[in-house]
Chains A and B, each alone.
Chain A
Amino acid sequence: MENLTEVLQLFLSIDNFIAIALGVVIGVTVGSIPGLTATMAVALALPFTFSMQPVAAILLLVGIYKGGMYGGSITAILIRTPGSPASACTLLDGYPMAQQGNAKKALKAALFSSVIADFISNIALIFFAAYLAKIALNFGAPEFFWLICFSLTIIISLASGSMVKGLLAALLGILLSLVGLDSVFGSQRLTFGNYNLMDSISFIPLLIGLFAIPEIIEFYRKKAIPHIKAKASGVGMTLAELKRCMKSIVRGSLIGVIIGAIPGTGATAAAFISYSDARRRSPNKANFGKGEVEGVAAAEAGNNGVAGATLIPLLSLGIPGDVITAIILGAFMVHGLTPGPIMFQENLSLIYALFLGIMFSSLILLVVGNAAIKYFSLIADIPKSILFPIVLMFCVYGAYAVNNMTFDIWLMLAFGVVGYLFNRTGIPAAPFLIGFILGPMFEDNLRRSLLISNGDMSIFVRGPITWFFIAITFGSIAFAIFRFFKDRNAKLISN
C-alpha cells in the first residue's frame, strides 16, 4: 500500500503528462516527415531530458518513440513516402486506399491498429516481461537463423502474381544488401572503392526512391491528370471494418511483441511478417496490395506491437534491442539508474510509475493521432500538380537528412528509376525490401552460428526453439507448394 502511494506520487505529476503529450506530438510530427526518424528525434531530445525528473525524462522519449512509429504511416498512406522504415509495409495497401479516395479510412485504420497494438504491447511489457526476457536470452545465433529463414518464406505470400518475379525481386534485394563491409573480416564488398557505400546502401533513401519517385515519374510521363475536386480524403473507418480487422490486429500485435522482445530484429520485419500473415489468412486475400484496409491494420499492428516490447529486454535485462532503446538506456544512466534486474529491486516504484505513464501514452496517441488525421488528410485533397513538386522536395531533403550526405540524394534518385522499372515490369517491391532487410541478418546469423560452434553444423538443431522454427519454416513452404498445386488444379478443372 505504501508502494502504491509512492508510485502514484511519482506518476501523478503535471510534468509527466506534459512530457508524454509533448513526446507523442513530436513523435507523430517528426515520424511523418520523410527522412526524419523517431530515432533522430529521440537522440535530439536526449540532452533536454538531463535536467528533468527521471520519470518525465523517460516518458518524453518513450512518447516520441511511440508517436514516431505511428507518424511514419501518415506520409506512407498519403504520398507513398514512408516517413520511417517501419511504415514501408503500410503503404502497400494504404496508398492504393488513398488513391481510391479512402485516405481518411486508411489513416484511421493505421491509428486504431497502432493504438491497440501499443496497448497489447504495454500489457505484455507489464505482465510478461520476466517470461519474455527469458526467451530473449535463449535466442542465440542459430535460433535467429531459423527465425530469419521462416521470415524469408513470407516472400512467397508477398510475391503477388508471379512467383518468378517475386523471387527475382527478393534476390535482387539480397544482392544489394551485400554492399558494404564484410561483417567478419571488414573487407569491402561491391563498394567499387566508393567510401559512401562502405556502410552499406542507406535504407531510407532506398525506400523513398523506390516508392515515392516512381509515382512522380508516372505523373509527369502521363502529363496532367485531371484532378477530381471531390472530397478525396473520404470517410473514416466504420466499427464493422474495425471488427473485421480485429483478428489481424491482435495477431499482428503479438507478432510485434515477440519480435520486439528479442533484441535485434526490428519493427520493419515485424510489420512485414504481420502483413503477410494477415494476407495468408484473410478471405479478401486477392484485395491485398490493392487497397485492403486489413493490410494497413496488420502492418501497423506489427510495427507498433514492437514499441512497448523492446522495453522488455531493456528494463529486465539492461539490453537495448534497437538504437532507440539504446538512447533510452543512456537517459536512464544519466539519471543514475541502471536498467536490469537490480532496478526491479531498488527502484520498483519508479518502474511502476513508468508503466502507468507508458499505458497513458497509448491514450494520448489516440487523441493526438485523431487530431493529426483531421489536418493531414487534407493533403489528399491537394491537386497533384501542386502536391508532387512538394513531395519531390521532401524526398530530396529526406534522403539528405538521414546521414547529411549528398551521395544519398543520388542513391534515392537511382532507386527511383529502379522502382519505376519495377512498376513497369510488374516486379513487386515488397519481396525486394524483405530480401534487403533480412538478407544480411540471414548471412550474419549463419556465419555467427558457425563461428560460435567452430564449424559444427549440429548447432542449428541444438534445442526446442530451433526445432520449432525449423518446423514452421518447412510447414510454411509445404503449405505454399500445396496451395500452388491446388490453385493449378482448380484452374485446370475450370478450363
Chain B
Amino acid sequence: MKKIFSATCIAACSGALLLAASISTASAAEWPTGDVRLVVPYAPGGTTDVLSRRVADLLKDALDTNVIVENRPGAGSTIGTGRLARGGRDADHTLLMASPGHTIGAAIYPDLAYDPVEDFVFIQNVIDIPNVMVVPASSPYQSVVEFIEAAQDKNMAFSHSGVGSSIHMSGELFKTLTGSQMTAVPFAGSGAALPALLGGDVDVSFENMPTVYSHIKSGDLRALAVTSAERSPYLPEVPTLSEIGEHNLDQFVTTAWFGLIAHNSFPEEGYEAMQAALDEVMERQEFLDFAEQLGAQPGQVEGEEFKQFVIDDLARWEEVAQQAGISQ
C-alpha cells in the first residue's frame, strides 16, 4: 500500500511538472527578453490558427526570438481573450490574434469578464479577408438588387458557420439594412455549410473569400457582391455592397479582420518593437503570397487607428445583435 501511495505522489508531482513546463517565464527590460507567446483564441486548424502560425513563423525572424503559438479556444474567442485580459507574469511577452470574434463576442455574450477595448493595447491589423455574397449557380438572382426585391415577399434562407461568426453577422446586417425577409440557418463551420449552398438548400451566404473562391471560379456559385470597402483584386468584376447605393447598403462594409493585440500593461518598447517587426513581416514576399492564397489583403490600420476601428466595429455589432435578438 505504501508503495502505491509513493508511486501516486510521484505521479502527481510529475503531472504538476508537466503543467508547469508549459507555462513560460520572462521579465521585461529591453524587449523581447525571452520567448514571445502568440495566443490563438480558436482551436488548431481554423483560419485564425493557420494565419497565426504563418505570422509567428515570420515574426520569429523579425524579432530574432521564438514565437510560440498557443491555442486557447472556447466560447467564440472569449475564453482565450479573457485569459489575456487577466494579465499575469508573462503579459509583457504575450500577444493575441484578434478577429471579428473579439468584437462580435463582446456584442453577443453577456457579462464578459473583460472590456474589449480598455483592457488591451492594439498593435496592428495584419490581414483583412472580405466576405462574398454568393448564391448557388442555379439561383435566379443575377444581382444584389434583384435578390433584395425578391426577398421582400419571399423568405430567404442564409447559411452561416455558427452564431456570432462574421458570416452570420454579415447576413444579419444585410437583413437589417435592406429590410429583407431572411432566416439564418446555422452550420457547424463553413465546411458543413458549403454543401447546403452548393446543393441549393439555402438561398444565399456571406462566406469568407477563401472558402468560396474556387467555387466561384468553377461556376458552381455566383458572387453577387463583396463586403469590403473596395473591390477585391481577385474578383475585380464583382461590385462591393456599398457601391450598390440602394437599400441603405452604402453603410455595408465589413471584413474578417485579423490583428495583434496585447494586455494593456504591455511595455512601450515592446509595442514599438512589435510594430517594426510586423512592418517587416508584412513586406515579406512569403507573407504577400500567403495573403494572396487567402484572397486577403494586408491590414491597413495600426495603433490608435486600429483601436478606433475596433471601437466602431464593436458599436456596429452591438446594434445588429440587438436588432437580430441574438443572445444577451
Q: Is A454's beta carbon under 8 Å from chain B? A: yes
On whether the beta carbons of B4 and A196 are closer than 8 Å, the reply is no
Q: Using Cβ atoms and an 8 Å threshold, which residues of chain B touch A195?
A: 74-75, 78-79, 82, 113
For B210, the closest partner residue in chain A by CB is A333
Of chain B, the residue at the smallest CB distance from A180 is B75
Cα(A108)–Cα(B32), bound, Å: 51
| Bound-complex Cα distance A339 to B293 (A) | 12
Is A467 engaged at the interface, CB distance under 8 Å to the other chain?
no
Q: Is B236 an interface residue (CB 8 A)?
A: no
Q: Are B192 and A404 in contact (CB under 8 A)?
A: no
- A333 / chain B contacts, CB cutoff of 8 Å: 210, 293-294
Residue contact A393 to B214, C-beta cutoff 8 Å? no
Q: Are A319 and B194 in contact (CB under 8 A)?
A: yes
| Pairwise interchain contact A185-B325, C-beta atoms closer than 8 A | yes
Q: Which residues of A contact B8 (CB under 8 A)?
A: 389, 392
- Chain A residues near B11: list those with CB within 8 A: 389-390, 392-393
Q: Is the CB of A319 within 8 A of B195?
A: yes
In the bound complex, residues from chain A placing their C-beta under 8 Å from that of B1 are 223-224
Q: What's the nearest-Cβ distance from chain A to residue B160, in Å?
A: 11
Contacts of A323 in B (CB 8 A): 43-46
Contact of A47 with B by CB under 8 A: yes
- Interface status of A74 (Cβ within 8 A of chain B): no
Considering only residues 195-211 of chain B, those with a C-beta below 8 Å from chain A are 195-196, 198-199, 201-202, 210
Our count of residue pairs bridging A and B at CB distance below 8 angstroms stands at: 187
Separation of A1 and B74 alpha carbons in the complex (Å): 52
Name B13's closest neighbour in chain A (CB-CB). Answer: A393
What residue in chain A is nearest B211 (Cβ atoms)?
Answer: A318
Q: Which residues of B contact A341 (CB under 8 A)?
A: 218, 220
Please give, as numbers and ranges, the residues of chain A lying within 8 Å of B217 by CB-CB distance.
Answer: 338, 342
Tell me, in angstroms, the Cα distance from A138 to B10 when the chains sit together: 55
Is B22 engaged at the interface, CB distance under 8 Å to the other chain? yes
Within B1-49, which residues are at the interface with A (CB < 8 Å)? 1, 3-4, 7-8, 10-12, 14-15, 18-19, 22, 43-46, 49
Kindly specify which of A38-46, A97-105, A281-289 makes contact with the partner chain: A38-46
Q: Select the stretch in A121-129, A154-162, A204-212, A395-403 that faces chain B.
A: A395-403
Q: CB distance A186 to B108 under 8 Å?
A: yes
Indicate if B183 sits at the interface (CB-CB under 8 A): yes
Cβ contact within 8 Å between B327 and A385? no
Closest A residue to B75 by CB, please name it: A198
Taking a contact as CB atoms closer than 8 A, the residue among B10, B54, B186, B214 that contacts A340 in the complex is: B214
Task: Kindly identify, within residues 297 to 322 of chain A, every residue whose CB is under 8 Å from any CB belonging to chain B.
Answer: 313, 317-322
Stretch at the interface among A18-26, A163-171, A444-452, A479-487: A444-452
| Residues of A contacting B224 in the complex (Cβ-Cβ under 8 angstroms) | none
Q: Is the CB of B290 within 8 A of A334?
A: yes
Name the residue of chain A whose CB is nearest to the CB of B79.
Answer: A195
Residues from chain A with a CB closer than 8 A to the CB of B155 are: 454
The yes or no answer to A184 lying at the interface (CB within 8 A) is yes
| A327 and B214 contact, CB distance less than 8 A | no
| Contact size range, B | 35 or more
Asked whether A140 lies within 8 Å of B22 as measured between CB atoms, the reply is no
Instruction: Assess the A393–B327 pair: CB atoms within 8 A.
Output: no
Contact with B along A326-338 (1 / 0, CB 8 A): 1100100110101
**Contact of A185 (CB < 8 Å), options: B56, B73, B183, B327:** B327
Nearest opposing residue in chain A for B72, CB measure: A404
0/1 interface trace, chain B 267-294, chain A, CB 8 Å (1 if under)? 0000000000000000000100110011
Question: Which residue of chain B lies nearest to A453 when distances are taken between CB atoms in the complex?
Answer: B157
Contact A338 B186 (CB under 8 A): no
CA distance A320 to B294 in the complex (A): 16
Q: Does A474 contact B (CB under 8 A)?
A: no
> B108-126 vs A: 1/0 string, CB under 8 Å?
1101010000000000000
Q: Is the CB of B201 within 8 A of A140?
A: yes
Residue-by-residue, is A132-165 near B (CB-CB < 8 Å gives 1, otherwise 0)?
0000111111000000000000000000000000
Looking at the complex, which one of A39, A42, A220, A319 makes contact with B191 (CB distance below 8 Å)? A319
Q: Which of A196, A385, A397, A448 contacts B187 (CB 8 A)?
A: A448
Contact (A451, B183) CB under 8 Å given A264-B188, A396-B15, A405-B74: yes
Residues in B lying within 8 Å of A, measured CB to CB: 1, 3-4, 7-8, 10-12, 14-15, 18-19, 22, 43-46, 49-50, 53-54, 56-57, 70-75, 78-79, 82, 108-109, 111, 113, 155, 157, 162-164, 183-189, 191-192, 194-196, 198-199, 201-202, 210, 213-215, 217-218, 220, 286, 289-290, 293-294, 325-327
Given A138-B199, A392-B12, A451-B157: 12 more A-B contacts, CB < 8 Å: A39-B44, A46-B53, A184-B186, A263-B191, A319-B194, A322-B191, A338-B217, A393-B11, A404-B70, A454-B155, A454-B157, A454-B183
A-B contact pairs, 20 of them (CB 8 A): A46-B50, A47-B56, A141-B196, A181-B75, A186-B164, A195-B74, A196-B74, A223-B1, A319-B194, A319-B198, A323-B43, A323-B45, A330-B45, A333-B294, A385-B3, A389-B10, A392-B11, A393-B11, A397-B18, A403-B74
